[in-house]
Amino acid sequence: MNAADTISVITEVIGWFALAAGLTCLLLALLIRVADGRWLRTEAVVIDGDGDGGSIVRWFTDDGFQSRVLSADERAHVTNPDEEPAFYKEREPYRLRLHEPPTGRRVIRILGFVFIGIAAASAVIGVVLMFVG
Q: What's the sign of the alpha-carbon dihedral 89, 92, 96, 97?
A: negative
Report the alpha-carbon distance of residue 6 to residue 60 in Å, rounded: 60
- Mean pLDDT check: name the lowest of 6-10, 42-46, 49-53, 85-89: 49-53
Every domain of the chain and the residues it spans: 3-132
Question: Nearest-CA neighbor of 90 among 40, 44, 41, 47?
Answer: 40
Res 1 pLDDT > 80: no
Tens digit of pLDDT for each residue in 52-90? 667 888 998 888 888 888 887 888 788 778 888 888 888
Output 31 or 83, whichever has higher pLDDT. Answer: 31
Band (pLDDT 50/70/90 cuts) for residue 3 is confident
Question: Nearest-CA neighbor of 75 among 95, 57, 88, 62?
Answer: 57
Q: With contact defined as beta carbons under 8 Å apart, do 57 and 64 qualify?
A: no
Band (pLDDT 50/70/90 cuts) for residue 51 is low
Q: With contact defined as beta carbons under 8 Å apart, do 109 and 25 qualify?
A: yes
* SS3 state of residue 54: coil
Tens digit of pLDDT for each residue in 92-128? 888 888 888 888 889 999 999 999 999 999 999 999 9
In the chain, the N- to C-terminal Cα span, in Å, equals 11
